[in-house]
Amino acid sequence: MHEKLYNVLIKRAFIIPTSEIYNSIAGFYDYGPIGASIKNRIISLWREIFLKEDGFLEIDGSTILPEIALKASGHVDNFNDPLVECLSCKRRFRADHLIKEALQVDASHMSIDELTKTLSESGLQCPECGGKLSEVKPFNMMFSTYVGAVGGTASYMRPETAQNIFMCFNKIFNTYGAKLPMGIGQVGRSYRNEISPRQALIRVREFTQMELEYFFDPDNEGESLEKVKDTVVPLQTRQQQRDGKDFDPVSLGDAYANGDIPLKTMAYFMAKEKRLLNSVGITNFRMRYLMEDETPHYSGGNYDVEIPTKFGWVEVMSLAYRTNYDLARHKEFSGKNLEVTVESKKVLPHVIEPSIGLDRLFWCALEHAYVEDKERGWDWLNLPPRIAPYDVYVLPLMKKDGLGEKAMELSKDLMVMFDIYYNESGSIGKRYAKADEIGVPYCITVDYDTLQNNTVTVRFRNDAKQVRVPIDQLCGRLGQWKYNSVVEASKSGLDIIMG
């Protein structure tokens, strides 16, 4: 199914391979108008759920960072992928991916030496030319550049948005009331020089992250669990993983009591992650407690949110308890005291980080919305109205006889309250098909009756039914249908955001 979806995304220009006319470098996509609209609407949802509800702050930082900052964060020394090269054709591969594909062995946690050993013992050769493979070497995934004239400052495109926030924290803390907890978020580009980008938007080289860093005093965690203790999430505990078992639904209160969630506030953010997923139409996912050997030494416990796709389970969100590692490293490398004073006590705050890969979430939302529909004759996207690229399509039956002008005028009136797309090209059937295909929930058709009695036809994407509505009732009815779709989703047990 993902090939069908990919084809729709390309055909309708949701996404366009960057510099496609030059046959593009792999791993870069431009978002066309429909894709950019969906992406922006997901960002709005994230802002509501992760920032506004709690009065958290948002910054917008530079994407080029100097080497020293990324030395401190550990990325210069440790942000590597295992690279293996064919000694004949010089093609390069990610060693763990090669082993997974050729030997069906999960090599994701093997060391460089283990990878080399596994490759040489298996006798594996270059999948392209059959040549001999090199030893495995670490390859740093950051894009490097120089700032200033020749011989300038070594710098990198940031590999995550988080580091700007850590470096700004002290300054913002003192400007914004000097209180803990404090949440600071950021939406922006990050960059990773993937050896083998693939799987459409899943593994790309330039992508958008939505990250929140929640700074708190570990001696004073607060009672955030209380609000979410009855929220049920599909959790996979460490014990379940050791036993080779699947995930189970469990309430956050119980999971915390069982010791399967390290901090109360992590449970609070897991409830938010669930709400964002449900709000973009994703009901099928699991929250997996990472095993000790999957997390960095400083971690207090990390969760991944994984979503089943046609590429397998994909990590789309994470929730990391980073302790005070990042602030401690920046303190050490900068020589600045980054401790803050809260009620006469010095604290180097701990951090919980819910981090979301927007491009992956976008892909998963579309894959979950994809409906194969032989009966209708075309496939369509069952996107929740909140993230549909447009609220309403407005179509004149014909351009002529004043229908075009009337439909255009209606579009302008509706534009005050809704995102409208006006389309006058092609047969009505083809235009309905296109609206369905890009997930627009409502089509409004202006026809000859409209000129007589000021009514229009509204067609619903999900059941293709049509009703006749007077134009002066249109705004209210559209608002009501949008609202009803949320209520119905809520009734069926989804935790989704209104408005």
Longest pairwise C-alpha distance within the chain = 81
Site residues for a second copy, 258-297, by CB under 8 A, read none
For the bound state, the minimum distance from the C-beta of residue 362 to a second copy, rounded and expressed in Å, comes to 11
Q: Which distant-in-sequence residues (6+ apart) come within 8 Å of 39 by Cβ?
A: 31, 208, 358, 362
- With b for 16 or more beta-carbon neighbours within 10 A and e for fewer, the 292-330 pattern comes to eeebeeebbbbbbbbbebeeeebebbbbbbbbbbbbebb
> How many whole angstroms separate alpha carbon 321 and alpha carbon 355?
11
> Going residue by residue from 412 to 431, which x/- string records binding to a second copy, judged by CB under 8 A?
---xx-----xxxx------
Nearest to 262 by CA among 233, 301, 231, 291: 301
Site residues for a second copy, 27-56, by CB under 8 A, read 27-33, 35-37, 39-40, 52, 55
In the bound state with a second copy, the residue whose beta carbon lies nearer, of 24 and 240, is: 24
Site residues for a second copy, 198-257, by CB under 8 A, read 205-206
Phi-psi group of 177: left, alpha or beta (phi > 0 → left; psi -120 to 50 → alpha; rest → beta): left
Site residues for a second copy, 3-32, by CB under 8 A, read 11-13, 16, 18-22, 24-25, 27-32
Query: DSSP secondary structure string, 214-255?
Result: EEE-TT---STHHHHTT-EEEEE-HHHHHTT---EEEEHHHH
In the bound state with a second copy, the residue whose beta carbon lies nearer, of 288 and 431, is: 431
109 lies in the site for a second copy, by CB under 8 A? no
- Does residue 353 contact residue 304 with C-beta atoms inside 8 Å? no
For the bound state, the minimum distance from the C-beta of residue 425 to a second copy, rounded and expressed in Å, comes to 5
CA atoms within 13 A on the CB side of 357: 23
65 lies in the site for a second copy, by CB under 8 A? yes
For the bound state, the minimum distance from the C-beta of residue 169 to a second copy, rounded and expressed in Å, comes to 9
For the bound state, the minimum distance from the C-beta of residue 13 to a second copy, rounded and expressed in Å, comes to 4
State the first-to-last Cα distance of the chain, in angstroms, to the nearest integer: 32
483 lies in the site for a second copy, by CB under 8 A? no
Site residues for a second copy, 319-378, by CB under 8 A, read 330, 333-334, 336, 338
In the bound state with a second copy, the residue whose beta carbon lies nearer, of 171 and 242, is: 171
122 lies in the site for a second copy, by CB under 8 A? no
For the bound state, the minimum distance from the C-beta of residue 73 to a second copy, rounded and expressed in Å, comes to 11
